[in-house]
Structure 1
């Protein structure tokens, strides 16, 4: 597990790894990554009949440990049936509260992945929000951790990596969520 507090040299190394992964992306990977949150935003609006933040909140609430395809299926089903199902009780409760009108930022852990996922979907051009998942971590540290714990539940470690993605985004000239999405696509499609 990487340290939650890092040296400037470590931070620079993580940031450079992100920039290098961005640079390694093919034009197609870059296009798809840059479009990822925009497409998710459109889906959120569609499934929640124009209430994009509600749709984004439900997608985020139902996202933990689910593939994107399964996440979308569960969110669509929740809006169609008027109640969430097919996930752990905590995720279902959060999704149902959001569908009931509670602001997602009052329910989701806004300082960690799920909260940032909501923010990126709700506003794909947000200049601060960035999702740090296992892939974002592995890109930054240049190492595939597999099933090992990355410690991303620790706010300090999460914020360290988020700051590195923000620094890489400034260097690239793009918003952090697009940098994260492009590098994610390039990472999962690596040869």
Structure 2
């Protein structure tokens, strides 16, 4: 697990790893990564009958430990059936509260991955939120952690990595969510 308090040298190295992964992307990977949250936003509108915030909130609530395809499937099913299923109780409770009309920002942990995932899907051009998931972590630290704990529930560790993505985005000239999404595409397609 990376330290919560990092040195300037470590921050520079994490940021460099992110920019290197960006530059390793093919043109196609950059296109798909740049469009990732736009497509997710469109899907959130589609499944929720036009309410992007509600759709994005349910997608985020049901995202933990699910592939994107599975996340989409159970979110769409939740809207179709009127009740969420196929996940742990906490995620289902959050999704059902959002579908019942509670603002996602009142339900989701807004300072961690799930809240930021919601914000990126709800507004793909928002330049503030950065999703730090296991892949974003592994990109920054140049190591595949597999099933090991990354400690991303610690706000300072999460924010450290989010700040590195913001620094990389500034260097690249993109918004952080697009840098995260492009590097995610490269990372998951590495094999």
Q: Does 1:180 align with 2:184?
A: no
| Separation (CA, whole Å) in 1 of partners of 2:87 and 2:190 | 30
Q: Does 1:13 align with 2:34?
A: no
Q: Hey, which bits of structure 1, 4+ residues long, moved more than 3 A?
A: none
Aligned to 1:162: 162
Aligned to 2:4: 4
| Separation (CA, whole Å) in 2 of partners of 1:45 and 1:78 | 14
Q: RMSD between aligned alpha carbons?
A: 0.6
Displacement of 1:17 after TM fit? Answer: 0.6
Aligned to 2:135: 135
Query: Could you list the runs of 5+ residues in structure 2 that have no partner in the other structure?
Result: none
Aligned to 1:88: 88
| Separation (CA, whole Å) in 2 of partners of 1:17 and 1:159 | 17
Give the paired residue count: 191
SS of equivalent residue, structure 2 residue 2: coil
TM-score by length of 2: 0.99
| Separation (CA, whole Å) in 2 of partners of 1:54 and 1:72 | 14
| Separation (CA, whole Å) in 2 of partners of 1:73 and 1:24 | 31
Query: Could you list the runs of 5+ residues in structure 1 that have no partner in the other structure?
Result: none
Q: C-alpha deviations, 1:136-182, integer Å up to 9, x for none?
A: 00100111111111111110000000000001001101010100000
SS of equivalent residue, structure 2 residue 50: coil
| Separation (CA, whole Å) in 1 of partners of 2:176 and 2:65 | 22
Aligned to 1:171: 171
Aligned to 1:113: 113
Aligned to 1:45: 45
